[in-house]
Structure 1
Amino acid sequence: MTFQDLNHFIQILEKEGELKRISVPLSPLLEISEVTDKVSKRGGPALLFEKVEGHRFPVITNLFGSEKRIRLAFRGRSPDEVGKALKDLLEMEPPDTVWKSIKALSRLYHFSKFFPKKVNRASCQEVVFNEPDLSFLPALQCWPEDGGRYITFPLVITKDPETGKRNVGMYRLQVFDSKALGVHWHPHKGGAHHFRVAERRGERLEIAVALGPDPATLYTATAPLPEGIDELVLAGFLKGSSVEIVKGTTVSLEVPASSQFVIEGYLEPGERRMEGPFGDHTGFYSLPDLYPVMHVTAITHRKDPIYPATVVGIPPMEDSFLGRTTERIFLPLIQMQFPEVVDLHMPVEGVFHNFVFVSIDKRYPGHARKIGYTLWGIGQMMFSKVIVVFDAEVDVQNLSECLWTLGANIDPKRDVFFSEGPVDALDHASDLPHYGSKMGIDATKKWPEEGFKRPWPKKIEMDPATKKRIDG
């Protein structure tokens, strides 16, 4: 089933028993967050808060907080199935026969259906405020020491001032006042690059924030796509049809037409303001720092919009499912480049960038180190603080098996290696912001060619005949 908007998705969630309506009045200051935290940690349903104190718009949280809801968002497909379909689409060999040429044309036509489609009228512009006031949005304060209220589930849209290429990212936005937002994007992100280009040119950067498009489009703002790849094309692939986009009312940027709310504005070159602290997905408060300021020029919305929010904190929470989804969708793409990779797992206990467990078909001496250094060179994998490489037979999805194998297979002096480079902006342990060290561990069986001279012991296993007799 294809969802053209969030409203349809919510209807299906309720039909499938994946949504709970809450009619008790609750405050957007801490109370909605507390309820969401308790429910999400239990693997509970999406939550529709119908009565938000001081606001007329309902709030929905925990939209993606179960495997079933993730499947529903992707038209009944698991993230593994989505990843395989994406790999099949991209894995196009140059045609060397007429039949292959016909098949290639068919694939290219199929792919073209995923590009965004411009429309002139949109539900997200049914109501237009050219004298905007952010205070009417039910933005949440999630944790007691947060710096204020935040928009936590935004699609932040910018374009490169020189190339015109679009970026859609998910960066939290702190509500400074009725017409200003703090834009918390890290220096490695596409939106931050666009702003650097604009500042170099001495120009303002247009910016638009879309809240609550269809679920597939909402997910893609979190996806770690290579620079210059349009997230809305991936959204079209995930939903099976083009994302309809409409030009803003005060900016030239296009936004998803099905959005619940859209905030339009600009960033002034050279302007920064202290943003934070914020209770983040690491389970700690991210520290205050200087970030760009979005000046709001318009707010548009549907006639009866629903405000989407996500609450992050000590895992597991909703973002655990989003991170797991990304892991499974993008694994086949890593395997296209590095076929020796058998599986990869970023456990939620490592908040998806502190630990990476990868199993490989080890083919030559030093192969594990090669994979460790390679992963640090792939996009946002550069933020991986600890990468552990295992042999193919190790189930990296099994944390217990990984820790047992890790303890058994390594000599710390020999098998631990280090690198330095960019680290996640939320890493509070590095000596410097954005720069620090990473650790790799070779937990594979060691070969004589790697200098290991002793026999490597076999893992204890019962012989098949005895197992058969006992099981019988």
Structure 2
Amino acid sequence: MRRLPVFADLRAFLAHLGGQGQLARVTAPVSLRHEMTAVQLAALRRGGPVLRFEAHDGPDMPVIANLFGTKARVAAGLGLELDQIPAFGAFLASLRSPEPPSGLRDALSHWPVLRAALRARPRVLHHAPVQRQGRAGLDALPVQTPWPEDGGPLITWPVVLTRPHGGEAADLSRYNLGVYRAQVLGPDRLILRWLAHRGGAAHHRSWQRAREPMPVAIALGADPALLLAAALPLPETVSELGFSGVLRGARTELVAARTVPLMVPAHAEVIVEGWVHPGEIAPEGPFGDHTGYYNAVESFPVMRISAITCREDPLYLTTVTGRPPDEPSVIGEVFNELALPVVRAQIPEVLDLWLPAAACSYRMAVVRIDKRYPGQARRVMMALWGMLPQFSYTKMIVVVDGTLDVRNWDDIAWAMATRMDPARDVMLIDRTPMDYLDFASPLEGLAGKIGIDATTKIGPETSRDWGREMQLDPAHEARAEALLAGILP
């Protein structure tokens, strides 16, 4: 399936993108405070290349930005081209519930699945590039302050590695990898902002119950497969370390951290090691977020740094989070395509699904179904809300049917205007889980949901004769195109 090479580290990925004309060096001086944000977002909105900032007002270390600023680069990070994304989504769906092979021939046809399982097992090294050098403190890293009202410098692409209390460092299946905001408080302290439902927070609670300090490691500048595995909303039962091997097409290589009992990515650019002590918290923020608003100041755990190791001539990877379009929303668009086969495997009547990037990538969903029975649209809504954790934060679902394009706002508006009655076809649910960053919700972490049935009504759904949709004969439409081709420019 893979047409692209294996990218063992960030440098290999950048070399590949450079060969494709997708890497630009910025040699003019740029400030880490706010100005670099403006340059990154301007490049992303133009569909521009990865940026390598050579000159800035921070420590001497090149800054890499806009890495996943286009869908094509997100796909490349998965080792794929854009046209391979749907097939890869189907492959991932098969990994969730593979069918047992019925014989030798069938077993050989399942070889890609078996090979992916082998690649999911990480390999442990004794020596690693990321431990060639050391840094004295966080002030040796060129950390951005992205937005004008931000509370301080913010590490924006950290892959945070944790494990639960009672586990062993070698038990990699129990590790959690997450991308959490990390506010720099000083050379040896930062704040980890993990929300209560995330894996890192669950691990933290287990260490707090034992009243013991929790070991934490942060990988900066990891390879694209590890970055995407940590960023994608995977099921809780799927190991991000193992899944990164499936994405990469090669086993993830790890090494023992120097000062904490954890295994860390051997080919990252920088590893930050440290401890989170029970009860030690600090006010975090405010920071600009994916909603397009600044968050309120809240307290989160403090990590005390015990060591920083890095590669020779390390690179610092950064990003900016804001109102879409931003890198997370671009990644979310690709996730939309990867998720569709997974959704269809559990809800077969779903034909298409769109999570509009403008709606913060997950707060609204438009679904097209194969309408077969009364009440089907409501069943699909409830199934989606309960299927994956990220859909529990989807506050609005619009269901359509027929041949409508769910990515076309005109089709969506037409369906809602002609197939939906507000009193009959709107389902409201109160006090359901919601991202507490949603300022529109009346209660923190709890909000309502709305489902809109904009499908053709059948059976007991209506007492009236339903209108017949007007359509021209496809042959006549083709004839019209042929006639006009020689007339119109």
Identity %: 39
Q: 2:390 matched to 1:380?
A: yes
Q: 2:406 matched to 1:393?
A: no
Paired AA for residue 143 in structure 1: W
Paired AA for residue 433 in structure 1: E
Q: 2:216 matched to 1:207?
A: yes
Spell out the pairing of 1:53-452 with structure 2 (5 A cutoff). 53-78=57-82, 79-101=85-107, 107-129=113-135, 132-162=136-166, 165-377=174-386, 378-419=388-429, 420-450=431-461, 452=462
Provide Cα deviations, 1:394-414, integer angstroms capped at 9, x if missing partner. 221223322221222211111
Provide Cα deviations, 1:238-292, integer angstroms capped at 9, x if missing partner. 1101110111101111111110011011111122211011111111111111111
TM-score, length of structure 1 as denominator length: 0.95
From 450, 462, 472, give the equivalent of 2:472. 462
1:341 shift after superposition = 1.3
From 1, 17, 21, give the equivalent of 2:25. 21
The 10-residue stretch of structure 1 (97-106 or 47-56) with the greater mean CA deviation from structure 2: 97-106
1:71 shift after superposition = 2.8
CA distance in 1, matches of 2:420, 2:392: 23
The 10-residue stretch of structure 1 (40-49 or 79-88) with the greater mean CA deviation from structure 2: 79-88
The 10-residue stretch of structure 1 (167-176 or 34-43) with the greater mean CA deviation from structure 2: 34-43
Q: Does the aligned pair in 1 maintain the 2:116–2:246 contact within 8 Å?
A: no
1:89 shift after superposition = 4.2
SS of corresponding position for 1:303: coil
Q: Does the aligned pair in 1 maintain the 2:71–2:333 contact within 8 Å?
A: no
Q: How large is the Cα RMSD of the aligned pairs?
A: 1.8
Provide Cα deviations, 1:363-416, integer angstroms capped at 9, x if missing partner. 322111111111111212101011111115222122332222122221111111
CA distance in 1, matches of 2:49, 2:108: 46
1:465 shift after superposition = 5.1
SS of corresponding position for 2:380: helix
1:106 shift after superposition = 7.3
Provide Cα deviations, 1:294-342, integer angstroms capped at 9, x if missing partner. 1111111111111000112121122221111211112211211111111
1:181 shift after superposition = 0.8
TM-score, length of structure 2 as denominator length: 0.92
CA distance in 2, matches of 1:92, 1:259: 32
CA distance in 2, matches of 1:169, 1:188: 12
CA distance in 2, matches of 1:317, 1:468: 39
Provide Cα deviations, 1:149-199, integer angstroms capped at 9, x if missing partner. 100001011012245511000001000111111111111111111111111
How many residue pairs are counted as aligned between the two chains? Answer: 469
CA distance in 1, matches of 2:107, 2:11: 41
CA spacing shift, 1:468–1:59, aligned 2, 3 Å:
closer
CA spacing shift, 1:94–1:27, aligned 2, 3 Å:
same
CA spacing shift, 1:468–1:138, aligned 2, 3 Å:
closer
Provide Cα deviations, 1:46-80, integer angstroms capped at 9, x if missing partner. 11101121310011111011122123222233332
CA distance in 1, matches of 2:166, 2:438: 32
Q: Does the aligned pair in 2 maintain the 1:82–1:238 contact within 8 Å?
A: no
CA distance in 1, matches of 2:433, 2:268: 34
1:2 shift after superposition = 0.9
CA spacing shift, 1:149–1:404, aligned 2, 3 Å:
same
Q: Does the aligned pair in 1 maintain the 2:347–2:383 contact within 8 Å?
A: no
Q: Does the aligned pair in 2 maintain the 1:342–1:392 contact within 8 Å?
A: no
CA spacing shift, 1:77–1:465, aligned 2, 3 Å:
closer
SS of corresponding position for 2:24: strand
